[in-house]
Amino acid sequence: MAMCRRSGDLETGGVLIGRYNEAHDTAMVTRAMGPTSDSVRGRTSFWRGIQGLQQRINALWKDREYYLGEWHYHPRGAGQPSVRDKRQMVRIAESLDYNTPEPVLIVVGGSRWEVTAYVFPRHGHAVNLT
């Protein structure tokens, strides 16, 4: 929430890092990274950059922590994913580059801090976890 507060009227976001349980049926988020230096924040949009991100993710693999998905903040809106958000998550789920067949998306909305979480299974429909 601190990153959201600091963002003020601009959207912000980043990636979710964590690990899976032994059965690989539960993801546990251990950290939410903030935006990279090349991210672009706007009043109604956020484009997460990549500057230095892969190096940070690679370093965490040694501790068995992995890329799990994305998070972002809608300062003026609800904590619901936009159509653009959903399309991005489907692309991530279908991309072999991400190696994450079921990425998680957490959206924080507005001043009331409404939070929703979704999982996007590869070749399936988004599942609301909240």
Burial of 86 (0-12, 13-18, 19+ CB in 10 A): middle
**11 assigned to active site:** yes
Q: Minimal CA–CA distance to 11: which of 38, 62, 35, 45?
A: 45
**What is the SS3 string spanning 52-103?**
CHHHHHHHHHCCCCEEEEEEEEECCCCCCCCHHHHHHHHHHHHCCCCCCCCC
Spot the catalytic one: 11, 70, 102, 114.
11
What amino acid positions are annotated as catalytic residues? 11
